[in-house]
Structure 1
């Protein structure tokens, strides 16, 4: 399988999930501006949407959208526990959480990365994010992971988007449980491996 990615972007989430599931993965870096891969291929020929993550299966089939990709990867190794079994209520809770992170957090960050966004809008978006994070902080105050005692694809997604906070000057230090969560995820060996592979961590000596 090939994962088309940009370092530190939302594609980090399926990258983590693939490693946690023990799945072989070929990384293909994409330039967000030129829409070209490192080898010069036209990324738009793979995914006309023009954004990552994009997963190309061994048979050439292409899957897009992070929440769909992480579930596909998790289902390749059910024993990993990264996604509850299909058809069960816990699986719908996973989809519920992935949807929340996708719509309420992920997309809210987008205008904060644009220098053209007016300051009043920027502040409104930050306050919106803090309110949404307060909900998740309350969940994490009661349990180690978003769905309880098992690390899942939802945790990889939350970790990924929350890492963006420092890049847009969003102070989340008030959320102690969220901060502890970020530290727990960052300490996982497969998370460190994914971040190192994307150049987000210095390689061990």
Structure 2
């Protein structure tokens, strides 16, 4: 099994999930500028040009981080990385995965855009991202993890995206519950192993 990734990008969550379930995988690094890997043209792997891509032993592929996380969880139901099918808690988890993917992740992507100047990015962060951080911080005030006391793949994705603000000059000093969440996550062996694999430092 192969995971196509770029250091510090959104493939980290998939790595964390696979570490949690003990799934063996090989990392293939993608150069975003040239859209190449050691294997050659990355666009032949994924015409979308995005990461992550999870490639199975038979060549079948999954794209979109939130979908890959659900697949990993559903392949290992004994690890309880998502609530049971049909349960109300399951839809709460999917609600969070979609929130992180569509609101938080896409919002943070704006901050990395080469087409916007720094002043515009900071106005966007204040006008758009601040409310997201406040919502998350308030939720984590009463919950150790997204779903309460138990870790899920939604936490892997949330941690992944919340590791980006410092890279784009967003001050997170006032979000104390987010800070505690990040520290809590970085105590997990799965997170430590994923960070090490990508050559990244912990944020906590």
Q: Same fold (TM over 0.5)?
A: yes
Give ranges in structure 2 of 5+ residues lacking alignment.
none
Mapped to 1, the partners of 2:21 and 2:40 lie a distance apart of 28
- Please give the residue correspondences for 1:124-163 in structure 2 after superposition, counting only pairs within 5 Å: 124-127=123-126, 128-163=128-163
SS of the aligned residue for 2:163 comes to helix
| Structure 1 position 25, deviation (Å) | 1.1
Mapped to 1, the partners of 2:166 and 2:117 lie a distance apart of 19
Mapped to 1, the partners of 2:25 and 2:148 lie a distance apart of 28
Q: 1:107 maps to which residue?
A: 106
Q: Is the aligned partner of 1:49 residue 2:54?
A: no
Mapped to 2, the partners of 1:201 and 1:144 lie a distance apart of 22
Q: 1:63 maps to which residue?
A: 62
> Normalization by structure 2: what TM-score?
0.94
Mapped to 2, the partners of 1:86 and 1:50 lie a distance apart of 31
> Normalization by structure 1: what TM-score?
0.94
Mapped to 2, the partners of 1:31 and 1:115 lie a distance apart of 16
SS of the aligned residue for 1:3 comes to strand
Deviations 1:156-204 (A, max 9, x none): 11111111010001011111111100111012111001110111149xx
Q: 2:189 maps to which residue?
A: 189
Mapped to 2, the partners of 1:27 and 1:50 lie a distance apart of 16
| Structure 1 position 115, deviation (Å) | 4.0
Conservation of the 8 A alpha-carbon contact between 1:130 and 1:172 = no
Q: 1:165 maps to which residue?
A: 165
Give ranges in structure 1 of 5+ residues lacking alignment.
none
Alignment coverage as a number of residue pairs: 201
| Structure 1 position 120, deviation (Å) | 4.3
Q: Is the aligned partner of 1:86 residue 2:91?
A: no
- Please give the residue correspondences for 1:1-80 in structure 2 after superposition, counting only pairs within 5 Å: 1-37=1-37, 39-80=38-79
Conservation of the 8 A alpha-carbon contact between 1:54 and 1:64 = yes
Deviations 1:41-90 (A, max 9, x none): 21111110001000111111111000000010111111212111222211
**Root-mean-square deviation (Å):** 1.4
SS of the aligned residue for 1:31 comes to coil
SS of the aligned residue for 1:63 comes to strand
